[in-house]
Structure 1
Amino acid sequence: MTSQLEESSAPPTGRKSSTFGADLGASLVVFLVAVPLCVGIAAASGVPVELGILTGIIGGLVVGLMPGSSIQVSGPAAGLTVLVASAVHAHGLAMLGVIVLGAGVLQILLGLAKLGTWFRAISPAVVQGMLAGIGLVIILGQIYPVGGLEQPDTTAAKFTGLGELATSLVTTPAGQSGLALAAVALLIMVGWKKFVPAPVNLVPGALIAVVVTSAAAFAFDLPVEKVEVGSLLGAINIPTVAAFGEINLAVIGSMITFALIASAESLFSAAAVDRMHDSPKTQFNKELVAQGAGNSICGVFGALPMTAVIVRSATNVQAGAKTKASRVLHGVWLLLFVVALPGVLGFIPLAVLAALLLQAGWKLLELKSLVQLARENRSEAAIVAFTAVMILGTDLLVGTLAGLAVAVVKTAVEVSRLHVRAEHADEHVHVELGGNATFLRLPRLLEHLENLPSNKHVHLDLSTVRHLDRACHQAVENWIAEHRKNNGTVEVAMPAKAG
C-alpha cells in the first residue's frame, strides 16, 4: 500500500522531460525567427541593431519569467517602428531610454490599477485600422532601402520621392542589386511553407531568405549596404541625469503614446494567441505589468520598446511550446548569439531586412479580412480604412484617436435608434415612440411632432422608450406646452424613468 502511494505521488518525470524537449525545440525555432526581425526592426527604427536584439533578450529573460501569459513571446515589434523613428527624430537617441522607461512605468501602473481588461473594449475596427495604417507606413518607408536610398522623413516626401526611387531601382547598381535580393527574399518567405515539406519547413522561411540572399550578396560582391554591427555593451544607451532634466510635454506625450499603443498591441496579441493553444489563458492585468517591467528595463538600457509579438507568439505555439521555458530559452539563445557571433549580422544586406519588413507590413494590412468585412459591415470597414489613411497622412496617435472618435460616433448613432409609428383616426392621432431618444435623434423627433395636426387629440406614447435624454425630454415638454397653447389637446405616457 505504501509503495503504491509513494509511486502515485512521485512527480511525472517522463512528462516533464517531454515538456522540456518540446519547449527546447520551440525556443530554437522562435530564436531563428527573432534574430532577423530584431535586427530589421532596429534598422527601420533608425537605431543601432544591437538595441533590437537587446530588447529581444529582455523580452525573453524578463517578461518570459513573469506571470501573465505562458506562451506569447515579447520583443521589438514592427508596429512600433513608426513611433520609435519619430521619437528619435524629434528628441534624439539619448531620450529614447527615458521615453521607454516612462512608458514601462505607466504600463505597470495601468496593470496594477486593473485596467488591462479595458483594452479589450477598444473597437476591433480601430485596432485593425491601426495595424493597417502601421503596415502602410512600413511599406511606404521600407521600399526606399531596397533601392539603396535613405528613407524620407515625412509621408509627403515618401510619395514625392517615388520617382527617384523607381529610377534608382532600374538604373543604379545598388538599386538593381537591392531589388533582386529583396525579390528573392520575398519569394523564399512566401513559398517556403507552401512548397517545402515538413519537418524541414519548421525552419523559418525568413531565416532561409536571409541566409541565401546574404550568401549571394557576399559571393557576387554586390554593391549593397549591409548591417553595421558593433559591440552589444557599446550600444547600451543608459539615460543620463541630464536626459531626465529635458523631459517636457512632448516627451511625456511620447511616453503615453508608447504605453497605450504597446499595451494595446500586447493584449490584442494575447487574445489572439489564447485561441491557438490549450495552455492556461492570459491574465491581462498581470501581463500588462510584465510588459511594463520589460519596457522599464529596456528604458534603463536605452533599448527599443517591446510588445508581445503575434508572429513570434504564433510560431511558438506552432512549434509545440508547452510552458514559459520556450520563451525564456529563446532569450538565452539571443544573448549567446550576440555575444559569440555578432559579426555574422554584418553580412546581411539592408535591402533584405527591408524585404522582411515589407512582408510584415503586408500582413498587417489584412486585405482579405478587410474585403470580407466590407461585405458584411460597410461602416466597420469604413472605420478601418479611415483610421489607416489618417495614420498614413498624420501620425499614429492622431490617426488612432481620429478612428476612435469616428467609432464612438458610429456607435452612438446606431445605439440611439428611434422608432416612430403614427396611427391617424378621425378625431385623434396615436403616436408611439420606441428605442432610444437622444440628442442625436432630436431633429427627427421634432420633425414628427411638429407635423402632427393641431385639430386632433394627440396621444403621445413614450412608455416603451428605453432612454429619453434631457434634450429630448425638454423638447417633448416644450412641444406639449406649445400644442396646448394653440388649443390642442395632448395625452402623454412618459417612460418609467425619463433620463
Structure 2
Amino acid sequence: MPFSLPHLSWTEVKRDLVASVVVFLVALPLCMGIAVASGAPPAAGIITGIVGGLVVGCLAGSPLQVSGPAAGLTVIVWELIHEHGMERLAIVIMLAGIIQIKWAWLQLGQWFRAVSPSVIHGMLAGIGVLIFASQFHVMIDDTPKGSGLDNLLTLPSAVWKGLVADDATPMNHHLAARIGVLTITGLVAWNLMARGPLLALPAVLVGVSIATGTTLVLGLDINHVKVRDDLLSVIHLPTSAQFAHMLDTSMLAEALALAAIASVETLLSATAVDQLHRGPRTRYNRELFAQGVGNVLCGLLGALPVTGVIVRSAANVQAGARTRASTVCHGLWLLLFVAFLPFILRSIPTASLGAVLVFTGYKLVNPQAIRDLARHGRDEVLIYMGTLVTIVTTNLLTGVLVGIGLTVAKLIYTTQNLNSYYAHDRDGRFALHLEGVATFVSLPKLASSLEMIPPHADVVIRTESLVHIDHACLNLLENWRTLHETTGGHVSIDWDQLRQQSDHRSPTAGRREPARDQAA
C-alpha cells in the first residue's frame, strides 16, 4: 500500500504543522493517563502514540484520523495485564495485529461497521462507568480494586478519603483529591470560556498544567508520574519463550477479541471523522491494515494496543489539518518530547491524569444517547442497558457478546412477526389473512394457521398486508395448497402479488395461475 503526500502549498503546510502541535498537546496527557488506567507504565502509552503517528499515520486509509492508545480498550488491557502481565500482553497485541492484517486482506473492513448503535453506545457507556470508577481511586492517590464492581462499591469510601484528612493513612488522599478536582475544574472552565485563538489550546492540557503548577508551587506531597530518562529502557522485545505462547488457544481467543473491539472502535471513529471534513473518504480495508501493522509493532515494543481515536482525530480536523502530515508530525513531537524533556513529565501529578480519565469516563456514558435510542423503541434501550450492565458486572467481551446476542434476538423476533386471523369474505368463503413478515423463522406459526383450515373448505388466502415472504414460506404454501386440493378443497391466492413481496420466485412462478385462482 504505497504512501505519498500530495503537493502542498506553504499555507497548507503551516496548517498541518499547527494542527500537529494541537494534537500532540491533546495526546500527551491522554497517552499517559490511559497507560496508568491500564496498569501499564506511562511510557508504554507514549510509545503507542508514537507508533500511531509515525507508522499508522503513514499507512492509514483515513488520512485525518489520529491513532494511539484508546480509553475504549482500557478495561480489556487492564484485565490482560492483571491476568498475564505485560510480557504476554505483548503477544496478544501482536496476534491481534496479525488478525487485523488478515481481515484487511479478506476485505472485511466494511463489515466492522455493521454493529447496532445500541451495542456501540452501551459498550462506550459500560467502559465509561468502569473508567470513572477505577480512575476515581487514582485521582485520590489510591489503588484501583480488583474488579469494576469492587471499584463502584468502594466509591463512597474513596469520596470520604478525598474529603477528610485521615492521619491513619500514609497517603495524602485529600490533597490528591483537591488536585484532581482542580484539574477537572480547569478543564471544564476552559471549555466554557475559551474564545477565538484560545480554542486551539486543548482543555486537557490546560487542566493538567494548572494542577501541575499548583502542585509544584505548594510543594504537595502526592504521587507523580514515573518516566525514565531513557525511553529505550521501556522497550522489551519478546523472547523466543514468549513467542511460543502464540500457539496457545486462550491467547488466540483473547487476541481475536482485542482485534474485533479495536477494529470496531477504529472504523466507527473513521466514519465519524469523514463527517467532519470534505477531504478524501476513508478506505476501510487500508485503515484496518494500517492498524494491524501498528499493533504488531506495538506488541514487539511492549507498548499498548493502538486504535483510531475520535477525540484526537476531531481535534486534528478542528485545528485545520489537511493531510496525513499532521498525524505523522504529532508522533514526531511525542518522540522528541519524551527523548529530550522527560523531567517535565515527572512533574505531573498522577491524580491529575486520573482526573482527566474520570472526566473522560463521564463523557463516555452520554445520557443523551439513551434519549436518542428511546426514539427508536424500548427494545433499543434494553439492548443498550443489557450491554452496559453486563460489561460492568462481568467484562468487556462478554458485554459486547450479550449486546450482539440481544440484537440478534430482536432481529429474529422482528423477522417472525407474522400475524394471521380468519374471517369470511363477501362471497362467503373462508379467508386466512396474513400480515407482517413471513420468513423461515415463521414456518411453525404459518403451518399452524394452515392446519386450522377445515378440509374441503373453499378458502382464499389474503396477502395484501404481507410485507415480505421468503422462499421457505412460499414453498410451504404451495405444498399445502396441493394437499388441500387433493381433499376436495379449493385455494385462491394472488401469486403475482406474492412474487412482488419476495426476493425469490414462488414454485409456480413459471406459469400463470388460472383466473379462478386469483384472490377476489
* C-alpha distance 71-490 of structure 1, shift in aligned 2 (>3 A): same
Tell which deviates more after alignment, 364-373 or 64-73: 364-373
Paired residue for 1:365? 365
1:115 and 2:117 equivalent? no
Q: Give a deviation string over 1:432-457, Cα, whole Å, max 9, x none.
A: 32443235445654564465566853
Paired residue for 1:62? 55
Q: Does the 8 A contact of 1:437 with 1:469 survive in 2?
A: no
Give, in angstroms, the shift of residue 97 of structure 1. Answer: 1.5
* C-alpha distance 472-160 of structure 1, shift in aligned 2 (>3 A): farther
1:175 and 2:177 equivalent? no
Matches within 5 A, 1:168-317: 168-172=161-165, 174-230=172-228, 231-247=230-246, 248-317=248-317
Q: Give a deviation string over 1:135-192, Cα, whole Å, max 9, x none.
A: 1111121111123221012133223323432332232462221221121111221221
* C-alpha distance 221-264 of structure 1, shift in aligned 2 (>3 A): same
Letter in 2 for 1:297: L
Tell which deviates more after alignment, 364-373 or 451-460: 451-460
Q: Distance in 2 between matches of 1:282 and 1:262?
A: 17
Q: Give a deviation string over 1:71-105, Cα, whole Å, max 9, x none.
A: 11011101111111111111111112211111111
Q: Distance in 2 between matches of 1:477 and 1:93?
A: 63
1:438 and 2:455 equivalent? no
Q: Give a deviation string over 1:235-269, Cα, whole Å, max 9, x none.
A: 11211111112342221111111111111111000
Q: Does the 8 A contact of 2:128 with 2:361 survive in 1?
A: yes
Q: Distance in 1 between matches of 2:473 and 2:16?
A: 61
Letter in 2 for 1:282: T
TM-score, normalised via structure 2 length: 0.87
Letter in 2 for 1:438: T
Paired residue for 1:100? 93
Give, in angstroms, the shift of residue 421 of structure 1. Answer: 5.4
Which of 137, 158, 161 is equivalent to 1:144?
137
DSSP-derived class of the 1:347 partner: coil
Q: Distance in 1 between matches of 2:356 and 2:205?
A: 10
Paired residue for 1:466? 468
Letter in 2 for 1:233: L
Q: Does the 8 A contact of 1:462 with 1:492 survive in 2?
A: no
Which of 128, 131, 134 is equivalent to 1:135?
128
Q: Distance in 1 between matches of 2:263 and 2:475?
A: 41
Q: Distance in 1 between matches of 2:324 and 2:485?
A: 74
Q: Which sections of structure 1, spanning at least 5 residues, go unmatched?
A: 1-11
Letter in 2 for 1:190: V
Paired residue for 2:517? none
Paired residue for 1:33? 26
Q: Distance in 2 between matches of 1:469 and 1:353?
A: 59
Give, in angstroms, the shift of residue 422 of structure 1. Answer: 3.9
1:42 and 2:35 equivalent? yes
Paired residue for 1:52? 45
1:329 and 2:329 equivalent? yes
Give, in angstroms, the shift of residue 409 of structure 1. Answer: 1.7
Give, in angstroms, the shift of residue 387 of structure 1. Answer: 1.0
Give, in angstroms, the shift of residue 428 of structure 1. Answer: 2.2
Q: Does the 8 A contact of 2:19 with 2:320 survive in 1?
A: yes
Give, in angstroms, the shift of residue 395 of structure 1. Answer: 1.0
Paired residue for 1:429? 430
Q: Which sections of structure 2, spanning at least 5 residues, go unmatched?
A: 1-5, 167-171, 500-504, 508-520
Give, in angstroms, the shift of residue 492 of structure 1. Answer: 5.5
Q: Distance in 2 between matches of 1:331 and 1:147?
A: 31
* C-alpha distance 479-140 of structure 1, shift in aligned 2 (>3 A): farther
Tell which deviates more after alignment, 364-373 or 167-176: 167-176
Cα root mean square deviation, aligned: 2.6
Tell which deviates more after alignment, 79-88 or 152-161: 152-161
Letter in 2 for 1:115: L
Q: Does the 8 A contact of 2:415 with 2:439 survive in 1?
A: no
DSSP-derived class of the 1:227 partner: coil
Q: Does the 8 A contact of 1:145 with 1:151 survive in 2?
A: yes
Letter in 2 for 1:351: A
* C-alpha distance 292-469 of structure 1, shift in aligned 2 (>3 A): same
Paired residue for 2:510? none
Q: Distance in 2 between matches of 1:394 and 1:63?
A: 32
Q: Distance in 1 between matches of 2:194 and 2:285?
A: 40
Paired residue for 1:411? 411
Tell which deviates more after alignment, 337-346 or 215-224: 215-224
Paired residue for 2:76? 83
Tell which deviates more after alignment, 405-414 or 290-299: 405-414
Q: Distance in 1 between matches of 2:25 and 2:149?
A: 36
Q: Does the 8 A contact of 1:132 with 1:366 survive in 2?
A: yes
* C-alpha distance 448-39 of structure 1, shift in aligned 2 (>3 A): same
Q: Does the 8 A contact of 1:434 with 1:466 survive in 2?
A: no
Q: Distance in 2 between matches of 1:62 and 1:468?
A: 48
Q: Does the 8 A contact of 1:467 with 1:498 survive in 2?
A: no
DSSP-derived class of the 2:322 partner: coil
* C-alpha distance 391-105 of structure 1, shift in aligned 2 (>3 A): same
TM-score, normalised via structure 1 length: 0.90
Tell which deviates more after alignment, 241-250 or 31-40: 241-250
Letter in 1 for 2:179: L
